[in-house]
Structure 1
């Protein structure tokens, strides 16, 4: 009898151990699925959060939210440009095709525009570097299930989703009030309306977000999955992504069903979101080679992502989901022709390889004869959120700034730090003590010396 009891105890222990191992395996699998859901869905969640911010500002789909001044820190999108006038039309074709009209470029103004689906896959560029080549044009968004006749005279776009957006930058000549007003007036010549109203379009509704908190930073918590659920409920499954249907279902996100995670599932989702954030952050700085050999400046987009996304993710043997997550964790908008209208260089470290520290002082010397037809700018962002640093008087310096000091050879010294260096206030970009930061250097209408690398941007150096 004793041997039977011992055997039963042993069997019970083995079953308990097996159950423990099985539970651990299930937990690890669920955590892995949660992390993968975040990595896979980042560009769409990024877009959906911007849409929610636009709705909170008072705009609706098929309307245009804009900023009547260059954005300040209240624009908490990911790495926005504080030296442009932004207009953001969010389209939705569930009720039928939608038209976005871009005005012709000329003395009154021009735009640099990029048009994406909700996954931030570039559909087309607009303006002088886009499909209309500066002549102006009517961009027609068709629903994914559209089978009607396509009228002539339109630049036809067929996104695989019902929704998406355009990022339109109305070019600033300077930060003077007259030039800001001119850029805003030109930008408001955009029109957006249903194709059904094309014969007599109603006035386009513009919502000014200037001075309002417009927060679309990525929340790596339950709010992330609430956003992802809205996408799953509102958009069709794209063939390339159908492998995610069952993994999302196991996390409580399923088309046609309410997302109501219990406490255990909620904790799992939040742990997975934080783990995904940590993985992306660790990968981001090592993901790109230096643009100039021996420097810290990189182009923040993987070559295979640029190639595949611009072709609609049709390359047969790649799907750069990891590279895509890194890009859209810190920025937004897909560009069809990178380098035609704008070019970006990013840095997280100084010349010595040290991380940029908001409590220290730095100097960046921009060489003379910058390779641009329009302007260059350099902006400081919060390293953790990738948004503009909060509660600072400005975030950038630009070649548009009339009172910036220049050196005798035409170069410009830009200073970064918690206080302005004496005598150089006009060339100063403020940072915050105790907060790491990152830099984005933009070149608009870049020219050949940038690509031939005969013009080189040096690294940031500690100043004092």
Structure 2
């Protein structure tokens, strides 16, 4: 990714970079690249991305599903097609729910939507919510022409604007790190309008060349506590999004995850709206006889009975198969490996379609790794799961290498595995370098106490725990080289009493 100083053009097509980090919900993901798979199945003569092959390559097997040598079975090819198309389907489904469903909450296409309050223990819509920033988002549809996004001066406040294409790759991340404090004017143009937008670019504006018409913008603005909310809300009010082209197009297909006919229709509509990334057209063409055809919303009706039967048989289990952990799909860090983080290329997946599918299911919308690094832990230094009936300590070394901020969040683990903030008497859900009154050691390091009851020494460094199981998430915004290269080590959490 580069910025040309002469015309301030922001280049959008950077899918080959190894630059993104997963949201913590997507740290355990399948991980085998298309190139590796092609080498493994060269004799098969097809682009084999199936989860059975991935599991086998990782030293595991999947029950009832084996890769046949010498040919690609129908079962295997449908699994391959699902793995490739699931992210395209999932972001289209999310867009439809947000902008077209009866209970849509995020407004129309090409309009800004702002979250006005920080997440707390009442926030139950999204698992592992963020308590550091407010979100300003927009679902963009760029086929009719560019849109202009105006951002006010942010001063020294952290902010970022991430842009995802229709295949869930981050193709741009604007903000304080790349563009300074502002104010800034961005012109976001779809594939058919890159040249014309460049020619008519307003003075001082930055062109964002989107690789697909369907684009999702996720903006994050730092909030320093509840008393800072009015100031951040005022900044949100000064953001604007202008359109000048034709009215944006919604989706014709109504998503239905239980229906293979609806799955194929939504995928095919998304392909017709957005095209196929360079170098992938022949692979997509190979899926045509099993229903993957751009623009063919009625492809299901044209399939042979045997293909329809196999889609109907497999579809319920294919989504669940993405949840299967694969060795090597995450990185364990810390002295005893109790902290987990995702692979470097999360968010810009390149040819790693299986990884892309797993992240779409578990962590849609993750920031680039150069923008933020997330780590999670669910066990102490002895490998025992966290439990609120115990007391714990986390030692944060001095000089955490970030240019923005870091924070540690506590989540209660529900019976169904979802993770939310837990009610507590001091209404604290995260703690970090911005926490007022934080007590530091003589060398500048910090000891964070985690337990149910208020510590005898006071609440300064206390992160309240729930009664039962919990998970911790560390977030580092604008990490420096030591974090990016994993040279800066975070100690394991130590259990200090039971």
How high is the TM-score relative to the length of structure 1?
A: 0.70
Residue 51 of structure 1 aligns with which residue? Answer: 95
Please state if 1:69 is matched with 2:117.
Answer: yes
The answer as to 2:277 corresponding to 1:277 is no
Alignment of 1:11-90 (within 5 A): 29-55=73-99, 56-72=104-120, 74=123, 76-77=125-126, 79-90=128-139
Matches within 5 A, 1:321-360: 321-333=353-365, 335=367, 338-339=369-370, 341-356=371-386
Aligned mates of 1:87, 1:119 — CA distance in 2: 21
Shift of 1:45: 4.3
**Map of 2:290 onto structure 1:** 250
Q: 1:195 to 1:226 in 2, by over 3 A?
A: same
- Cα RMSD over matched residues? 4.0
Equivalent runs, 1:50-449 vs 2, <5 Å? 50-55=94-99, 56-72=104-120, 74=123, 76-77=125-126, 79-106=128-155, 109-130=157-178, 132-146=179-193, 149-150=196-197, 151-153=200-202, 154-172=205-223, 174-177=224-227, 179-196=228-245, 222=258, 226=262, 229-234=265-270, 235-238=273-276, 239-242=278-281, 243-244=283-284, 247=287, 250=290, 255-258=295-298, 265-278=311-324, 282-283=325-326, 286-292=328-334, 294-303=336-345, 309=349, 313=350, 319-333=351-365, 335=367, 338-339=369-370, 341-356=371-386, 362-380=392-410, 382=413, 388-389=419-420, 392=423, 395-402=429-436, 406=440, 410-416=444-450, 419-423=452-456, 427-431=462-466, 433=468, 438-447=471-480
Change in 2 beyond 3 A, CA 1:360/1:231: farther
Distance 2:420 2:486 in 1: 31
Quote the Cα distance in structure 1 between the aligned partners of 2:389 and 2:215. Answer: 39
The structure-2 alpha-carbon separation of the partners of 1:438 and 1:147, relative to structure 1 and needing over 3 Å to count, comes to same
C-alpha contact 1:377 1:443 (8 A) present in aligned 2: yes
Q: CA deviation at 1:271?
A: 1.9
- Give the secondary-structure state (helix, strand or coil) at the position aligned to 2:266: helix
Distance of 2:449 and 2:230 partners within structure 1 = 29
Pairwise CA distance, 1:129: 1.0
The CA distance in 1 between the partners of 2:164 and 2:151, in whole Å, is: 15
CA 44–413 in structure 1, closer or farther in 2 if over 3 Å, else same: farther
How many residue pairs get aligned? The number is 395
What SS does the corresponding residue of 2:193 show, helix, strand or coil? coil
Q: Structure 2: give runs of 5+ residues left out of the alignment.
A: 1-66, 247-254, 302-307
Distance change >3 Å, CA 386–CA 124, structure 1 → 2: farther
Structure 2 SS opposite 1:63 = coil
Q: Are the aligned partners of 1:105 and 1:127 in contact in 2 as well (CA < 8 Å)?
A: no
Question: Looking at CA atoms only, which structure, 1 or 2, has the larger radius of gyration?
Answer: 1
In structure 2, how many angstroms separate the alpha carbons of the residues matched to 1:402 and 1:149?
50
Query: Do the aligned partners of 2:89 and 2:263 also contact (CA within 8 Å) in 1?
Result: yes
Q: Alpha-carbon deviations, 1:270-324, whole Å to 9, x = none?
A: 022222322xxx12x7423344565333441235x57x65xxx4xxxxx122333
Q: Deviations over 1:225-261 (max 9, x none)?
A: 8567434313333044442455476368873324879
Unaligned residue ranges in structure 1 (runs of 5+): 1-23, 198-218, 314-318
Cα–Cα, structure 1 residues 452 and 66, in superposed 2: closer, same or farther, change >3 Å? Answer: same
TM-score (norm 2): 0.66
Whole-angstrom distance in 1 between the partners of 2:127 and 2:442 = 36
Q: Is the 8 A contact 1:415 1:421 kept in 2?
A: no
Residues 118 and 163, structure 1, Cα contact 8 Å, conserved in 2 = yes
